Each structure stands twice: as structure tokens, then as C-alpha cells.
Chains A and B, each alone.
Chain A
Amino acid sequence: MATRTIAGKTVAVNEEGFMTNPAEWTQEIAVEIAKEEGIEELTEAHWKVINFCREVGAASGKAPTLRTITNGAGITTKEMFTLFPKGPAKKVAHIAGLGKPEGCV
């Protein structure tokens, strides 16, 4: 299993760069990965979604799908695309230190 150093911390990642141990995640890591994903600044609206995904991840051991997020975090699909352009569920899972959402099999 590969590792990489993000925001000064060495963490385990899979071949697609997703963190494999959510416990290693920190808010600083989130800020750093967000930049890599082209999101310069994480606003309150971003954090609301990230925190929701962290909660779902902790409870189920899985990254939520886009539909779980829009149903659970009180946000529309359109807003999700504005906050996390292109693949929002994948992007937020990446930033939140969760695996790739399982919609993709």
C-alpha cells in the first residue's frame, strides 16, 4: 500500500490517491487536497458537506454517494456541482479522506 505526505503528515493512499485510513485525516489535509482538486478556498458551505460526509463515513465505513449527500445534508445537486465541480461525490470523498464512493462498480 502506497503512502504520501500531505500537509506535513504521512498517510496511506490507494492507487487512485484516495486515503485508505479515515482516522489519519486532518482538516489541514482537507485544505491541501481541495487545492489539488482546484478548490482554492474551503468555505462554510464546503465544510458543511465535508463534515456530513465524515459523519456518514464514520457510521457506515463508506463514502456517501451524491444522492446520499443531497438527501442528507440539505443541499441540491446543482449546489454540489457549484461547490465541487465535475464529479462532486468523488471529489468530496477525496477531500474528506474517505474511499471512492461505491456507486462506481
Chain B
Amino acid sequence: MKKLLILGAGTAGTMVANRLNRMLDMDEWQITLVDQDPVHYYQPGFLFIPFGVYSKKDVIKPKRNFIPPQIKLIQSEIEIIEPEHNRVRLTGGLYLDYDYLIIATGADIHPEETPGLAEHEWNQSIFTFYSFEGSVELWKKLQTWEGGRMVVNVVENPIKCPVAPLEFLMLADWFFHERGIRDRVELVYATPLPGAFTKPMASKMLGELLVQKGIHVEPEFYIERADPDEKKIVSYDEREVPFDLLVTIPLNKGAEVVGKSGLGDELNYSPVNKYTFLSDKFDNIFVLGDASNAPASKAGSVTHYAIDLFGENFIRYTSGQKLVENFDGHANCFLESGFGKGLLIDFNYTQEPLPGRYPLPGVGPFTLLEESEANHWGKLMFRWMYWNILLKGQELPFPPTMTMAGKWKA
């Protein structure tokens, strides 16, 4: 029996386990998954919780429900990976050895890395929606908040789902309109980027949308510390942005265990070949999802496309053939923009998001980089697809690599 060990049963670990369970000869392979948390979180749903669009039960389900019975699921914290010995030690001392290892331990937030954030004002006037608990706390706060200056701040890039802060602001604009207090709320986006988004065309078009919605952008704001008593954030170049309510997207980092095991970079992301996800250091280790240093968006949709191609590559590789360098960094994200509308952006490692129409037989087209109701439904449909199709490792009607069809070139 050949042993495949998968660390982390989040989006990537669950999808790849299901996919390989179908593709590999299970008389020859034994697949084991390890995760410390019995609950699977639908993280894209955290965005909607503060506004009461989703409730807790919409975003949590037992992990077990998504793991086929042939696969062994161990609930435990992973203490250390010992790649020289092809084994992993769990907290409590149990060793698991492997022939092939897939690291899918994701990324998480670290508010404690920025002075002033996770102190006495945490969940009082300083919040995050980048965790389940955080989004629930913020929902409670927004129930009774009577207005003032709401500042959304990204501490440092890369972050998971780089469009989520923009969506949060646009939903906030809608939410306060609905509550009839929009005129008493000032919305500010303080970002380390020079504009609304990372790529030029999207930055321009999204930037214009923010202006229309009366959201002020404070660009190139690199936070040094928050002052919880004076209610302001301070940048390294000593600019100050005052707030009544701060919504932070804290520093994102890969799992501690990756760094501790000598497999991470300075943010604990694990260096890989960005086309195949093979570890730079060990030829029997792959890193999937947010855990790798691949310069693609840290998003579930990206992971899904990556795994579409990874399955066949893994079969090739383990039967002695060469890996095909085929993943192009394809990302395809619905962006919620409030008032029942949304946008869609579609891009990859080399092609920035462009406006146009995204063709989808039977359902589409969806408007690219432009608001429409169809995109809003696309976004809400994504939750259903996530639980029912994506996690089970099934294919979507979208091609895994990006297509230029329907995109308008400048």
C-alpha cells in the first residue's frame, strides 16, 4: 500500500481527498487526512454575517460529512513535519509516515502582530470579519451601532480573497442605507496598495465604483500601530486615520507548523513550483490552497481550478511520469457590490482582469468588471456549489485555465 497523507481538511484538503479518492486505485493507496478542527467553515460566508445576510448555521458543517468513508480522518493538531524522515508527528506523540505528503494547512489571521489591535478594544471598537467569531461579534455590534466613522484597514498583503475588503465596504454602504443611517456613516478604506485593487484595470474600475458609493480610499497606508484609546491608526510614514469603528484585516500567515518544520518563507507560506505545486525542497511533497507561496489569489475558486489539474498530474507523477506545468493562476471571483448586485473578475498569472462578458452555457453571460444582478446570484449560488459540488471534488462548468473569450481588450 502506498500512503498519501494530507495535512488540513479545509477547502483544499477536502477537495483533493475526494478527487484522488475517485481517481486513485484505492486497493493500492491509503489516504489519511489530519485536521485539528471538526468543523468546516465556509469562509466566504464570513463576509455576509456582519450584515445579517447569512447566519452561523449557513457557514458551518461537520467536516466528517464531506470525507468519504474509505479515507481515514484523524482529528488532532499537527505538531511537526519531518520531511527527511517522511513522517509527521501529531500533538500527543503519534507518528504518521507517508510516501507522498500534501500540505493544505491554509492561512490565518494574526492581529497580535500589529500593536494595539488585539488589546482592550478588540471586539469593542476594533473588529475583524476574517474569522468566524470575529464576524459574529461584528454582527452583534452593527445591530446597535448608530453611525460614525467606519475604517476598513488591510494590514499587509497578501490576504485571503483580496476583494473581500472591497465587498465589505460596498455591503456596508448598502446596509447603512437600508437602516436609514447612511448619512451618519463615513466609510474609509485604508490600504497598503496604491489604489482599490492590485491590477491596473480592475483598480481603476473598482476605484470609480467606490467613489460613486461615497467610499473614501486612503492609499499606500501601511499600518504601524493602532491606538485603541485615541481611536486612530498610524502608518509607518506617520499618517493618522481616526475611527469610531475599525474593521481590520490583520496580517495573514501560513500555519505555524509549516514554518516550524523548515518548510516556510518569512510568512510561513511554503515555496512551490507555481505551475505544479511541487515543493521546492522535497520531491514527494505538494502544497495546495492558501498554504503555498504561489502568487495566485488565495481563494477557494483558485484552489478548485488548481486541483482540477492537480489530480491528473498526481497520477502521472506517482506512476513515474513527469509533471506537466499547466496551472496558469486562474482566479474567478464574484464580488458582492450591494443593493442586490455584483461583479465578476476573471484573471490569471499573466492576464489582468478585463471588462467584457463571461460566457457560461445555460446560465451566463455574466458581466465582467461591471455591476449586474446575475453576478449577485452567482455569488449566492457559490455557497450552494461550495457545499454540494466543490468540496466533493466534482467539476464545475467552468474551464480550469483562463479563457480570453468575451474579454474586451484595450
Contact B236 A87 (CB under 8 A): no
Contact A86 B220 (CB under 8 A): yes
Q: Whole-angstrom distance between the alpha carbons of A77 and B192 in the complex?
A: 13
Contact B158 A87 (CB under 8 A): no
Q: Whole-angstrom distance between the alpha carbons of A102 and B193 in the complex?
A: 12
Judge if A15 is at the interface, Cβ distance under 8 Å.
yes
State the Cβ distance, B285 to closest chain A Cβ, in Å: 19
Contact B236 A81 (CB under 8 A): yes
Chain A residues with CB under 8 Å of B157's CB are 103-105
Contact B267 A67 (CB under 8 A): yes
Q: Whole-angstrom distance between the alpha carbons of A90 and B193 in the complex?
A: 10
Judge if B198 is at the interface, Cβ distance under 8 Å.
yes
Q: A105-B162, A105-B296 are in contact. Are A77 and B236 (CB under 8 A)?
A: yes
Tell me which of B194, B200, B237, B267 contacts A81 (CB under 8 A): B237
Within 8 A of B (CB), among A43-92: 65-68, 71, 77-78, 80-81, 85-87, 90
Q: Whole-angstrom distance between the alpha carbons of A103 and B296 in the complex?
A: 10
Contact A78 B162 (CB under 8 A): no
Chain B residues with CB under 8 Å of A71's CB are 266
Chain B residues with CB under 8 Å of A66's CB are 156
Judge if A16 is at the interface, Cβ distance under 8 Å.
yes
Chain A residues with CB under 8 Å of B222's CB are 77, 81, 87
In addition to A87-B220, A90-B194, A104-B158, 5 A-B residue pairs with Cβ atoms within 8 Å of each other are: A78-B224, A85-B237, A86-B220, A87-B194, A102-B295
Judge if B297 is at the interface, Cβ distance under 8 Å.
yes
Chain A residues with CB under 8 Å of B266's CB are 65, 67-68, 71
Q: Whole-angstrom distance between the alpha carbons of A15 and B204 in the complex?
A: 14
Task: For B221, give the chain A residue with the smallest CB separation.
Answer: A86
Within 8 A of A (CB), among B127-169: 156-158, 162
Chain B residues with CB under 8 Å of A86's CB are 220, 237
Q: Which residues of B contact A (CB under 8 A)?
A: 156-158, 162, 192-194, 198, 200, 220, 222, 224, 236-237, 265-267, 295-297
- Enumerate the 3 nearest inter-chain pairs by beta-carbon distance, A residue then B residue, closest first: A102-B295, A81-B236, A104-B198
Task: For A68, give the chain B residue with the smallest CB separation.
Answer: B266
Main secondary structure of the interface of B (DSSP, over half): loop
State the Cβ distance, A57 to closest chain B Cβ, in Å: 15
Interface centre among B157, B193, B198 (most CB of A within 10 A): B157
Q: A67-B267, A81-B237, A85-B237 are in contact. Are A105 and B220 (CB under 8 A)?
A: no
Chain B residues with CB under 8 Å of A90's CB are 194
State the Cβ distance, B97 to closest chain A Cβ, in Å: 32
State the Cβ distance, B282 to closest chain A Cβ, in Å: 18
State the Cβ distance, A9 to closest chain B Cβ, in Å: 25
Q: Whole-angstrom distance between the alpha carbons of A105 and B296 in the complex?
A: 6
Task: For B220, give the chain A residue with the smallest CB separation.
Answer: A86
Q: Whole-angstrom distance between the alpha carbons of A102 and B200 in the complex?
A: 15
Chain B residues with CB under 8 Å of A15's CB are 200
Chain A residues with CB under 8 Å of B224's CB are 77-78
Q: Whole-angstrom distance between the alpha carbons of A105 and B297 in the complex?
A: 6
Task: For B295, give the chain A residue with the smallest CB separation.
Answer: A102
Q: Whole-angstrom distance between the alpha carbons of A71 and B157 in the complex?
A: 16
Task: For B293, give the chain A residue with the smallest CB separation.
Answer: A102
State the Cβ distance, A12 to closest chain B Cβ, in Å: 15
Contact B193 A104 (CB under 8 A): yes
Chain A residues with CB under 8 Å of B193's CB are 104
Q: Whole-angstrom distance between the alpha carbons of A105 and B351 in the complex?
A: 12
Q: A71-B266, A77-B224, A105-B295 are in contact. Are A87 and B192 (CB under 8 A)?
A: yes
- List 16 interface pairs A-B (beta carbons < 8 Å), by A numbering: A15-B200, A67-B266, A68-B266, A77-B224, A78-B236, A81-B237, A85-B237, A87-B220, A87-B222, A102-B295, A103-B156, A103-B158, A104-B193, A105-B162, A105-B296, A105-B297
Q: Whole-angstrom distance between the alpha carbons of A87 and B158 in the complex?
A: 15
Q: Whole-angstrom distance between the alpha carbons of A65 and B158 in the complex?
A: 10
Q: Whole-angstrom distance between the alpha carbons of A87 and B157 in the complex?
A: 12
State the Cβ distance, B355 to closest chain A Cβ, in Å: 16
State the Cβ distance, B365 to closest chain A Cβ, in Å: 26
Task: For A72, give the chain B residue with the smallest CB separation.
Answer: B266
State the Cβ distance, A4 to closest chain B Cβ, in Å: 17
Chain A residues with CB under 8 Å of B295's CB are 102, 105
Contact A16 B237 (CB under 8 A): no
Chain A residues with CB under 8 Å of B200's CB are 15-16
